[in-house]
Structure 1
Amino acid sequence: MEEVQGNTTQAKKEENNALLQKLTKRNEQYMLSLNKALVEKNMSEAKKEEIFNDMLHNLVERQKAGETARQLYGTVTECANHLVAKPEQSQVGPSKNWKIALDGGLMIGGLFSLITGLSGLFSSVEEASSSLGLITTLLNFIMGGLVILLIAKNMPDRKNPKKGGMVRYILVSTTGMLALMFVMTGSMMVIPAAVNVPINAIGNIVIGILAFVAKYFAKRKLNIRGGLF
């Protein structure tokens, strides 16, 4: 039995070496770094080669569309920790869309709130009156998540650019951010203050800090992979 398993592992290893040669330099370096990380974590050779076989087949196919290992599996550290924590799962990849959107929404919404709050501390009463409202803040979190999700899904591999990939990425990123700004400014102008209740500077700062804290714990708890941050 051990001999059969050894032969199977060797066959997988040879296939994996062949697949590795088909990767872009960026993806190849990712897999080599992941291999080193898993060796340091004492993962068995048989299990490692089995996991790599699935990952390499997926990478060879997905890189044709400009996707990178970093986009698909997160950072090397995140991927290694995920594989070691749940060794029974040989399939890893980007998190579900809602998780990526949640991570991005907390980042963008928190950033806008924090910047607005800090600016409000040094603004006059008239300028402070134009601060973010409650509805606008909620829309920032929602729209921010959707925009980051779209950008993450369209990010090309710069080491192996697909024709039109970079143009599409720039268009999606620009359009997404413009849409976010349009929704933010539009909601402030259209929605009455009685509904879009203004949030003072301290309130915005607190919301921003809480959003970053929530992002930190959500990323760890949900093992979010494939986002921008």
Structure 2
Amino acid sequence: MAKNEQPAVTPEPVDIEGLEAKLSKKNADYLFKFKRALNAEQVPAERQTEILAEMLPEMVAEQHKGKPATQVYGPVTTKIDQLLHAPKRPKQTSLQLQMLDNGLIFLIMYLAFNGIAAYFSTKGSATSIGITSIVITAALAGIIMTYPMRYTQMPKEQRPPFWKMALVVIGLTLAFVAAYGVTILIPSFLNPVLPPLVQIVIAALLIGVRIYIKRRFKITGSFFG
């Protein structure tokens, strides 16, 4: 063992029987009904022991303050529901999947709006944004939008300082503007302008792609939910 290494501290086992003996008549009755409910739910004995080891010290401590178990935990059925039937917290979607989903959303929007605008515009005034520019700006918009959304979805105690998030968003926005300016300089053979109807059809197909990916990976918390 290293010189400065502290030995692992093993928690002392809870004296369940000793704590049960300290319960008031009202709390003892609550515990009797609680155990009966656990057995009715076919909770394994080992799990029952873990639950009682967590509850009994608190029951005794609150009892000394004049609070019976019904006041601390509510009715037995309520406590059982909280322990055994509480809905599991949904797993948070990864940052990368949220960015992908948001990027697809913006790509669909850009293609649809650009295609519709070009289709209904008069000759000579059609929008001439190349597909490479559209893809790059959509990807950057998806990345930029994900960060503030992710920030608002975090528990308040886990959020980084607001000024840090603001700096990140400002930096990404400047990168977005710079990247868009660079895409304009891309040669036309690398940044072709697609016909309006082609853009609209691709946007429609990407809607189906986005629905599949969203369901396949159970993506939540993105731009449109």
TM-score by length of 2: 0.55
CA RMSD of aligned residues (A): 3.6
- Is this contact kept in 2: 1:131–1:200, CA < 8 A? no
Question: What letter corresponds to residue 214 of structure 2 in structure 1?
Answer: K
**Which stretches in structure 2 are left out of the alignment for 5+ residues?**
1-42, 57-80
Shift in Å at residue 106 of structure 1?
0.3
1:47 is displaced (CA, Å) by: 5.2
Confirm whether residue 193 of structure 1 aligns to residue 183 of structure 2.
no
Residues 184 and 206 from structure 1, CA distance in 2 versus in 1: closer, same or farther, beyond 3 angstroms?
Answer: farther
Show CA shifts across 1:76-132 (max 9, x none): xxx3xxxxxxxxxxxx3x22332112111101111111111111122122221x432
1:156 to 1:100, Cα distance in 2 relative to 1, 3 A: closer
The answer to whether structure 1 residue 107 and structure 2 residue 105 are counterparts is yes
Task: Give 1:198 deviation, angstroms.
Answer: 0.6
Contact 1:155 1:169 in 2 (8 A): no
Normalising by structure 1, what TM-score?
A: 0.54
CA apart distance, 1:150? 2.7
Q: Distance in 2 between matches of 1:97 and 1:121?
A: 36
Q: Specify whether residues 174 and 123 from structure 1 end up closer, same or farther in structure 2 by C-alpha distance, changes over 3 A only.
A: farther
Letter in 2 for 1:125: K
Q: Which residue of the partner structure matches residue 3 of structure 2?
A: none
Change (3 A) 1:163 1:195: closer
More helix by share: 1
Within 2, Cα distance between the matches of 1:184 and 1:223?
31
Compare relative contact order (CA 8 Å, sep 6+) and give the higher one, 1 or 2: 1
Query: Within 5 A, what are the aligned runs for 1:29-68?
Result: 48=85
**Aligned match for 1:202, one of 197, 203, 212:** 197
Give the aligned partner of residue 26 of structure 1.
none
**Matching residue of 1:184:** 180
Distance across 2 between alignment mates of 1:13 and 1:203: 64
Aligned residues: 159
Residue of structure 2 in register with 1:123 after alignment: 121
Cα deviation, residue 221, structure 1: 0.6
**Cα distance in 1 between the residues matched to 2:208 and 2:177:** 24
Aligned-partner Cα distance in 2 for 1:163–1:98: 19
Kindly provide the amino acid, as one letter, of the partner of residue 102 in structure 2: G
